Chain A
Amino acid sequence: MKKNSYKSWIIPLLPAFVLLGMFFIAPAIWAIYVSFTNMNLTGSNAIHWQFVGFYNYYNIILDNSFWTSLLVTAYFLFGSVAGQLILGLLLAVYLKGQKLIIRSVVEIFAIIAWVMPEVVTGFAWISFLNYPGGLGNVLISFLGLSQPWLFTHPLFSVTVANIWRGSTFSLLMFIAALDGIPKELPEAAKVDGGNQLQIFFHVTLPLIKTTILTDLVLITLFTIGAFTLVFTMTSGGPGDATDLLSIYAYRQAFNFYSIGYGSAVSVIMLIIGILLSITYVTFGYRSEKPEFK
């Protein structure tokens, strides 16, 4: 019996394990290995590379540009995650009470923004923020705020673009979560005299806390790995104003040809992602504990 049950799950899962092993685990292990070498794409180290221990990591720590990129990534991450979470949640709550037609139209537009290739999104935003004459600048010209945004506020601009693009994911998750709340609960709260805000904070929000946590973990991981949108819009510039860790790693590996060094930066990004996920989950689990008692 036991043998049968073992077979019943291992065989269907085998293709997934093989694919995961080939396309994720093996490259990840290879990247970790390469991060301990001085492998280059060109020059003598392209063929005669050696194991150099923690030398790449040591150099990364000494490199001011790395710390700048880390800070830029932190701002971008915080802004994007907070923006996507709040915007997604607000839209989901708004749509919850709307007619099906309005809900469908908004969802379709949001999904279009989400599925659009990031390169296209990047160009759309460059055009929108173009100065002078971009639609965004024209729309706010009556406020006297027209300016070359990608130059005057580059990090803010790319963060807004990323929020615009990524909020759909949160929206879809929250719509599903809100649909799962039994109607009786908010109605009961209403009967007990709760207003809209009280119902939202004391009934709705606690009930979708797990979804918020899952959303938080996923969009954090998406954002840490973000590259294409920002690279298309600014290439990390002007100067190093939008130089995300992913762009820093790319530049080291493919512009300076230091594959080993670039891999080490990627490994650091992986560690940051894992640490943040563990923190969220631990924090979320602790705060949920009382509810299980």
Chain B
Amino acid sequence: MKSSRILVFVIVGLLLFGLAVISQAQQITLTVVYHLVPGVSATPAFVTWFDKVIPEFETSHPNVEVKLMPIMAAEQDYYTKMDLMMRSPSTAPDVVSEDTFMIGSDAAAGYLLPLNKYVDQWSGWEHFYPTMQQITTINGNIYGIMDGSDVRGLWYNKDILKEAGIAIPWQPNNWEDILETAQLIKDKVPGVIPLSLHTGNPVNTMEGFYMLLYGTEMGNNALYDWSTNKWVISSPGWNHALTFIQEVFKKGLGEPVYLAMNPQYANILAGQYFPQGKVAIDLWGMWQYSSWLSSSLTPWPNWENVLGFAMMPTEYGQAPGYVSLSGGWALSIPSNSKYPGLAWDLIKDAESAANLAIYDYYTANTAVRDDEINYSIYANSPFAATFANIMKYTHYRPAEFSVYPAVSYQVGLAMGNAMLGKPIEDIMSAYAKAVEGIVGIENTESIK
């Protein structure tokens, strides 16, 4: 009798254990890796976005739990950590947030899953702007779905410009206009930074240098000549862009050099200098305003009334008249993901027009889908029409080349040295020699 009771207990116990094991086995966890930039917002835009996406997804997938895994690191270290995670099946996440400039090399490394078979059956894909589709498509394979893009231009403080006697809205037509305005500000409104360029931090090549270089005569071919497939190591445009930087700092129009060298300069500017009215013009990206939203760590309710955003003109105002550089991020699935099908379902939910409209508002990005504008949160976002208009002037870095990070570092050194007042010829010859070493002399060209 006693032994049969024990037997019943054992059997029931085993059954319960078995059920627990089975239910545990059916519980799937999807891991989403994203880059956490500290110091901007108490709740990162990515988290706000997924706070909406995850409940929707988990309702339709009851046995799946979505886990966000932030990586708080400098941007380049984020890519390194992510690549190291994706290399091994034991550490690979299921969804990764990739800067589009890494997609080419990560795809070549076999880290990313081509998404064509999923995208082909997804009606949402038709709503993505063709350029946004092309950025993540390599040799016909789609390796990511863009979640936002950006443009760059000239933020300016209307009050300071008015004080200097400059008509508002301000829109310079060439570089000379910018220099004249900055000089006027220096003369009439002492104590402010007339023209902030961000040339002191080598990672800011897009803002600090390409915004000038791509506005020179060679335009889209100024850094990498797409007609010859060679890197331009010397050209009049290079000379002019470096000279512009040098002139700004020589005339005392730029930010104090020690401040420019501070890696936190952009945050200092957004958190202190802009709200305190200490900077007149800043050549930077549209995302700047995410630092001033009510959800940020440094809210500035009045910013929309105080600031304006002007397009960056080309050197002489030559066609097309204006210039911008764009980047953007995408969601991708690592080829080592254990649950690519579920990961795709999650991406599909996240990249719906309604959810992207929220994300692109909080992250201060431009829309990647043509139907995001149908949602009020995005439609009412500040300067939306201005930013959308600039997209037609924008360029993209030649980031699909694996040598690009090394070349970009040399560009960063060159712009920094121009700021420090080193002779332009020396800077250009050092850049030329370094790039010849990186890409091979046969892949470079000098334009007279």
Contact with B along A55-91 (1 / 0, CB 8 A): 0000100111100000000000000000000000000
Given A65-B434, A148-B258, A237-B202, also A42-B402 (CB < 8 A): yes
Among the stretches B39-47, B108-116, B289-297, the one at the interface with A is: B108-116
Query: Max chain B CB contacts within 10 Å: which of A42, A47, A152, A235?
Result: A42
Tell me, yes or no, whether B263 is within 8 Å of chain A by CB. Answer: yes
Interface size on A, residues (CB 8 A): 29
Is B189 an interface position by the 8 A CB rule?
no
Contact, CB under 8 Å: A42 / B105? yes
Whether A251 lies near B416 (C-beta < 8 A) is no
Contact B402 A40 (CB under 8 A): yes
Q: B78-107, CB under 8 A of A: which get 1 and which 0? A: 011001100100000000000000100110
Question: Are A43 and B402 also in contact (CB < 8 A) when A238-B416, A255-B76 are?
Answer: yes
Q: Is there an interface contact between B200 and A43, defined as CB atoms closer than 8 Å?
A: no
Q: Name the B residues within 8 Å of A40 (CB-CB).
A: 109, 402
Given contacts A151-B257, A239-B413, contact A42 B202 (CB under 8 A): no
Query: A41–B83 contact, CB under 8 A?
Result: yes
Which of B80, B106, B257, B261 contacts A254, CB < 8 Å? B80
Contact (Cβ within 8 A) B109 A64: no
Residues A240 and B413 in contact, CB atoms below 8 Å apart:
yes
Partner among B87, B106, B261, B409 whose Cβ is within 8 Å of the Cβ of A256: B409
Question: Once the chains are docked, how many angstroms separate the CA of A257 from the CA of B404?
Answer: 11
B413–A257 contact, CB under 8 A? no
CB distance from B332 to the nearest CB of A (A): 13
Q: Is the beta-carbon distance between A256 and B405 smaller than 8 angstroms?
A: yes
Contact among A44, A151, A240 with B261 in the assembled complex (CB-CB below 8 Å): A151
* B93–chain A nearest beta-carbon distance, Å: 16
Residues of A within 8 A of B202 (CB): 237
Are B437 and A41 neighbours in the complex by a CB distance under 8 Å? Answer: no
Q: Is B196 an interface residue (CB 8 A)?
A: no
Structural contact, B257 and A44, CB atoms closer than 8 A: no
A59-B437, A65-B434, A257-B83 are known contacts. Are A44 and B409 too (CB-CB below 8 A)? no
Chain A hits for B437, CB < 8 A: 59, 62-63
B263, B405, B417, B434: which contacts A257 (Cβ < 8 A)?
A: B405
Complex contact A238–B109 (CB within 8 A): no
- A45 contact set on B, CB distance < 8 A: 402
Q: Flag whether A188 is at the interface (Cβ < 8 A).
A: no
Judging by beta carbons under 8 Å apart, are B402 and A47 in contact? no
Q: A46 in the interface, Cβ–Cβ < 8 Å?
A: yes
A237 touches B105 (CB 8 A): no
Output the nearest chain A residue to B417 by Cβ-Cβ distance.
Answer: A239
Residues on B with C-beta less than 8 A from A255 are 76, 80, 405, 409
What is the CA–CA distance of A244 and B413 in the complex, to the nearest angstrom? 16
Selected contact of B433 from candidates A59, A64, A240, CB within 8 Å? A64
| CA A47 to CA B105, docked complex, whole Å | 11
Q: State which residues 201-247 of A face B: CB under 8 Å.
A: 235, 237-240
Asked whether A131 is an interface residue with its Cβ less than 8 Å from the other chain, the reply is: yes
- Judged by a CB distance under 8 angstroms, whether B388 is at the interface is no
A42 to B86, CA, bound (A): 10
Q: In the complex, are the beta carbons of A41 and B405 less than 8 A apart?
A: no
Q: Quote the shortest CB–CB distance from B80 to chain A (angstroms).
A: 5
Complex Cα gap A45–B111 (Å): 12
Q: Does B119 contact A (CB under 8 A)?
A: no
The answer for the CA separation of A45 and B405 in the assembled complex, in Å, is 15
| Cα of A239 to Cα of B105 in the assembled complex, Å | 27
Q: Footprint of A on B, CB under 8 Å?
A: 76-77, 79-80, 83-84, 87, 102, 105-106, 108-111, 200, 202, 257-258, 261, 263, 402, 405-406, 409, 413, 416-417, 420, 430, 433-434, 437
Q: Given A41-B84, A257-B80, 9 more contacts at CB 8 Å? A: A42-B105, A42-B402, A46-B109, A46-B110, A62-B437, A238-B420, A255-B405, A256-B405, A257-B402
In the complex, the 8 A-B pairs of residues with the closest C-beta atoms, listed nearest first: A148-B258, A46-B109, A43-B402, A151-B258, A43-B105, A42-B105, A44-B108, A256-B406
Q: Which A residues lie at the B interface, using CB under 8 A?
A: 40-47, 59, 62-65, 131, 148, 150-152, 235, 237-240, 251, 254-258
